[in-house]
Copies of this chain bind each other. A is one copy, B any other.
């Protein structure tokens, strides 16, 4: 289970270290892609398999489904984990998430998210302010 938040730095070669606590579970190859809300999603190979198979079922001839699969699959990249536990972030993903300098790596159970430190703290703050209303709403629809 991937949990916890870590702050690492993106170096000049666009590399980030994965938190050492995540490494065993993630293996020597991970998949990184566009996330929702200006972050990147990172999956282990097995989690990615589940997710990508779902995506591959989206019809080719429907505009919105095509859009979404381009976003997720076209935006994905296999990233090998180097000897020091780092992965390489491609330029287009780096820009998408606005990564520069310090980045936050957060484990969300079965996936990992990569945020710029700045957007992470802003997002966090906004959630904290509304968590009460949010939880109420989820309760109403029976999600929790």
List chain A positions with a Cβ less than 8 A from chain B.
1, 3-5, 21, 31, 33-34, 36-37, 52, 54-56, 58, 60-61, 64-71, 73-78, 90, 92, 96, 106-111, 113, 123-124, 127-128, 131-132, 134-135, 137-138, 143-144
Partner of A37, one of B56, B66, B92, B107: B66
Tell whether, in the assembled complex, residue A135 and residue B3 are in contact, meaning their CB atoms are under 8 Å apart. Answer: no
| Chain B contacts for A107, CB-based, 8 A | 73-74
Complex Cα distance A85/B135, Å? 32
Number of copies: 2
Tell whether, in the assembled complex, residue A92 and residue B5 are in contact, meaning their CB atoms are under 8 Å apart. Answer: yes
Complex Cα distance A66/B66, Å? 22
Complex Cα distance A144/B95, Å? 26
- Could you name 9 residue pairs across A and B whose Cβ atoms are closer than 8 Å? A4-B77, A5-B90, A37-B132, A54-B144, A64-B134, A65-B138, A67-B134, A71-B124, A74-B107
| Chain B contacts for A56, CB-based, 8 A | 109-110
Minimum CB–CB distance from A45 to chain B (whole Å) comes to 10
